[in-house]
Amino acid sequence: MSILTRKKTSKIAESNAGRKLFGSRGATITVWIIAVLWTIPTLGLFATSFRPKPEISATGWWQVFLHPHLTLANYSAIFSTGNVSGLPNGVLPYFINSFVITIPAVIFPITIATMAAYCLAWVKFRGSDAIFYGIFAMQIVPIQVTLVPLLLLFGNRVSSGIHIGSIHVFPGLHIAGKFLGIWVPHTMFALPLAIYLLHNFIAALPRDLMEAARVDGASHFTIFRRIVLPLSIPAIAAFAIFQFLWVWNDLLVALTFTGGTEGISPLNAQLAGLAGDWGSHWELLTSSAFVTIVVPLIVFFSLQRFFVRGLLAGSVK
């Protein structure tokens, strides 16, 4: 929070000569050159997705600015519900899958993480610090480490579940190939970062407020619902955006836990496969890619302010 107030004071002093490292004009020009360079690749994809098929392989996409000849045919092709070059119903079912996977995979971990963060910040008990450090450390565990055992746990076969030696200690959960089988791992993998970021925010809430509520006889559940939840909305929103981008753009979890079940596969995972299969169908690939990109872009640009602020809660002191 202090960053925000400091930011304002530094804005006032921006003309201050002490900040001069490069000339202001030189800085502006350099940043804009990089910004343009950074945008060109995406622009190429965007332009290509509106070009007719024969032209895509005949001339470079930048020709579009010299000889504008645009079409929406590529988009109507991928959104048609008939067979689209190997996809029986076009890309729309996968687009829907992406939403069906992402929305719960954002809501579940945030709810569970906010609860845990409140407990670790305000209901201290012996060992709560150790648990906090343990959770913080788990941010680093590569997801790859967990894939094989989790798949066994989620499996549908008799041999699924957890074994110690030859003893069957836990049955298979029978959720492989279902949406639940993707929501659960996403929730698990999101928790360490979510708890850490939300803990930073919730621990900074005013102590007086919490104590006053306790004195008035409010239970932890009441405090959580009436005080913590409403006050934590900025941090919750920030993490929600982060998690949305992460789940929507994820490939590894999707490939692993859909286990080839077409009916629940998200668009991003399909796209990774199509990049090979549709090698000659650039018009379909680019328009599908753009459809995948546009959703996180909308989320990101409309909520950008929250996103940056929420990340700062964790990384800048």
Alpha helices in the chain (DSSP H): 2-12, 24-49, 53-58, 73-79, 92-122, 128-138, 147-154, 180-203, 207-215, 220-223, 229-231, 233-249, 252-258, 267-277, 282-302, 304-315
Closer residue to other proteins in complex, CB, 41/208: 41
Contact (CB, 8 A) for 48 and 58 = no
From the CB of 211, what's the least distance to other proteins, in Å? 15
Closer residue to other proteins in complex, CB, 31/70: 31
DSSP states of 99-114: HHHHHHHHHHHHHHHH
- One-letter amino acid at 252 equals L
Output b/e per residue, 10-32; b: 16+ Cβ within 10 A.
Answer: eeeeeeeeeeeeeeeeeeeeeee
From the CB of 273, what's the least distance to other proteins, in Å? 9
Only one residue has tokens 């079409």, namely: 71
- One-letter amino acid at 72 equals L
Closer residue to other proteins in complex, CB, 71/249: 249
Contact (CB, 8 A) for 61 and 40 = no
From the CB of 249, what's the least distance to other proteins, in Å? 3
Distance CA 304, CA 152 (A): 39
Residue 126 DSSP class: T
From the CB of 220, what's the least distance to other proteins, in Å? 4
From the CB of 294, what's the least distance to other proteins, in Å? 10
From the CB of 117, what's the least distance to other proteins, in Å? 9
From the CB of 206, what's the least distance to other proteins, in Å? 15
Phi, psi of 263 (to 5 degrees): -60, -20
Closer residue to other proteins in complex, CB, 227/271: 271
Closer residue to other proteins in complex, CB, 44/234: 44
Q: Mention every residue, 6+ apart, whose C-beta is less than 8 A from residue 18.
A: none
From the CB of 157, what's the least distance to other proteins, in Å? 14
Closer residue to other proteins in complex, CB, 213/311: 311
- What radius of gyration, in Å, describes the C-alpha atoms of the chain? 25
Closer residue to other proteins in complex, CB, 212/294: 294
